[in-house]
């Protein structure tokens, strides 16, 4: 824990008045925008399942903020995380609440420019900006942050945020395949476990960890069920599914699982009735690349599904959506040791983050994209990158070459944390979708 009187390493002083003003305006803009997004999502699918209503509600951060406040008052701790390398199970086993704190606010990224240059990834800038003015309830409420040192942006972000809160950095080995990486990562897990235990004052016991793993396994089960449904004819719009997936980042996991199962139930019924969300001939699109974070950064999925010709998001390979939960923790023996190993492996080995490389490049990610393209019958891939996201941008050529060989069109869509470029983006996405439909009339 650091002394609050200590001088800030990175952050600039900003007057309380300015903070208040900025927070109010940005919140208001964002609220309007998200309300509009949800309204558009409702309109996009006439028979949108009633079960989606829950996710529309939880998409409003205020609801969850109140719950977290109440939980904190009852003595629970909230632990925030930035990358998917944070072991949720350990947080849960210590009776703490995990929330992901990455920011999607467009306007906050402009505030981040005061601390870091504009070339930096806008998600990092936006998170800095959000912290500056206390915009994100999750970031504000977390008692500590877990940061996976994946890309350069994340590494320095954790340093910058340590001006405010204890940040537990976990060094992610960039090579997965070596034995020393895994043993190193296991040690990181054990260290983190001790830190969590110290903060919460709760000991992580075998039975607690077991039930935490079982909880996330059930969540994974519901999650995979939803993705499985998306393999068939469209019964859910991609944006809706993305919102469901993303709600996992801040929602109560048990409740989320129940609601998702209920949604799957409704969707399966819908598939039996053959009431499709949009024409089954709609080109099936997959997005991969930089994470798209709710609330603001929702423009690309919206553009894809509202374009003319229309596209349907059937899958994605984003760490803000399908990479969250697809892999289960596979426990062989329910001993403390094996559970920890299983958790360590699930977070390190199963990840397809572009921060990894090997003798053969980041082959796991390429393979996983190929698998998704095949399994979800994807017609085209949109490779979404925000300016400053080096790892994804640099890996594009590799992915393109592989997809070209399979003659699956892929388009590199680059953008920023801004609303202003929706026009040009739309033109490009529409041209791409036009190409996918390969309509006879062209």
Nearer of residues 269 and 421 to other proteins, judged by Cβ: 421
- Least Å from the CB of residue 170 to other proteins: 17
Query: Which of these ranges, 245-253, 260-268, 273-281, 422-430, lies near other proteins under the rule CB under 8 A?
Result: 422-430
**Could you say which residues in the range 152-171 bind other proteins, by CB under 8 A?**
none
Contact window for other proteins (CB under 8 A) among 56-64, 77-85, 175-183, 246-254: 175-183
Examine residue 24 and tell whether it contacts other proteins (CB under 8 A). no
Nearer to other proteins among residue 27 and residue 398 (C-beta): 398
The single residue among 194, 330, 377, 419 that binds other proteins, judged by CB under 8 A, is 330
Q: Which is nearer to other proteins, 135 or 304 (CB)?
A: 304
Q: How far is the CB of 229 from other proteins (least distance, A)?
A: 12
The residue among 16 and 207 lying less far from other proteins, judged by its C-beta, is 207
Q: Which of 6, 62, 359, 441 binds other proteins (CB under 8 A)?
A: 441
| 435 part of the interface to other proteins, by CB under 8 A | yes
Instruction: Report the candidate in 129, 156, 158 with the shortest Cα–Cα distance to residue 144.
Output: 158
Exposure letters 273-305 (e unless 16+ CB within 10 A, then b): eeebbbeeebbbbbbbbbbbbbbbbbbbbbbbb
| Near other proteins by CB under 8 A: residue from 122, 148, 234, 328 | 328
How many of the chain's residues bind other proteins (CB under 8 A)? Answer: 54
**Choice between 47 and 427, CB closer to other proteins:** 427
Least distance CB 433 / other proteins (angstroms): 9
Cα angle value 216/267/254 (rounded, 5°): 25
Does position 398 interact with other proteins (CB under 8 A)? The reply is no
Which residues in 339-368 contact other proteins (CB under 8 A)? 341-342, 345-346, 349-350, 352, 364, 367-368
Q: How far is the CB of 111 from other proteins (least distance, A)?
A: 23
Site residues, other proteins (CB under 8 A): 176-177, 179, 182, 206, 217-218, 220-221, 224-225, 308, 327-328, 330, 332-338, 341-342, 345-346, 349-350, 352, 364, 367-368, 370-371, 374, 397, 409, 411-412, 414, 421, 423-424, 427-428, 430-432, 434-435, 438, 440-442
């Amino acid at each position: 824990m650091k002394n609050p009187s200590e001088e800030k390493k990175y952050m600039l002083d900003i007057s309380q008045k300015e903070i208040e003003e900025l927070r109010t305006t940005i919140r208001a803009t964002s609220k309007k925008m998200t309300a509009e997004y949800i309204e558009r999502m409702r309109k996009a699918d006439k028979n949108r399942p009633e079960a989606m209503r829950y996710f529309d509600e939880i998409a409003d951060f205020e609801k969850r903020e109140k719950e977290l406040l109440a939980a904190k008052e009852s003595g629970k701790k909230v632990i925030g995380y930035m990358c998917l390398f944070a072991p949720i199970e350990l947080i849960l086993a210590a009776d703490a609440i995990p929330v992901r704190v990455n920011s999607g606010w467009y306007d906050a990224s402009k505030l981040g420019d005061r601390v870091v240059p504009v070339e930096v990834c806008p998600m990092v800038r936006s998170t800095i900006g959000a912290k500056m003015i206390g915009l994100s309830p999750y970031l504000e409420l977390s008692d500590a942050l877990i940061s996976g040192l994946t890309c350069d942006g994340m590494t320095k972000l954790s340093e910058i945020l340590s001006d405010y809160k204890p940040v537990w950095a976990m060094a992610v080995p960039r090579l997965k395949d070596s034995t020393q990486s895994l043993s190193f990562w296991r040690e990181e897990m054990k260290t983190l476990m001790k830190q969590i235990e110290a903060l919460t004052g709760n000991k992580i016991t075998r039975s607690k960890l077991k039930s935490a793993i079982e909880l996330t396994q059930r969540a994974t089960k519901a999650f995979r069920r939803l993705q499985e449904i998306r393999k068939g004819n469209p019964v859910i719009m991609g944006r809706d599914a993305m919102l469901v997936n993303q709600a996992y980042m801040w929602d109560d996991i048990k409740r989320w699982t129940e609601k998702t199962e209920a949604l799957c139930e409704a969707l399966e019924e819908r598939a039996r009735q053959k009431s499709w969300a949009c024409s089954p001939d709609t080109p099936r699109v997959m997005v991969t690349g930089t994470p798209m974070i709710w609330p603001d950064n929702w423009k690309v999925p919206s553009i894809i599904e509202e374009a003319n010709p229309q596209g349907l998001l059937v899958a994605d390979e984003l760490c803000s959506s399908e990479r969250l939960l697809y892999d289960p923790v596979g426990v062989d023996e329910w001993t403390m040791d094996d559970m920890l190993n299983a958790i360590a492996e699930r977070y390190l080995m199963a990840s397809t983050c572009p921060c990894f490389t090997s003798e053969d490049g980041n082959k796991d990610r390429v393979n996983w994209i190929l698998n998704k393209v095949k399994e979800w019958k994807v017609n085209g891939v949109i490779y979404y990158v925000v300016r400053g996201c080096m790892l994804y941008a640099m890996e594009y050529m590799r992915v393109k070459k592989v997809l070209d060989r399979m003659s699956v069109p892929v388009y590199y869509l680059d953008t920023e944390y801004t609303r202003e470029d929706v026009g040009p983006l739309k033109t490009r996405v529409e041209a791409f979708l036009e190409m996918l439909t390969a309509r006879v009339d062209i």
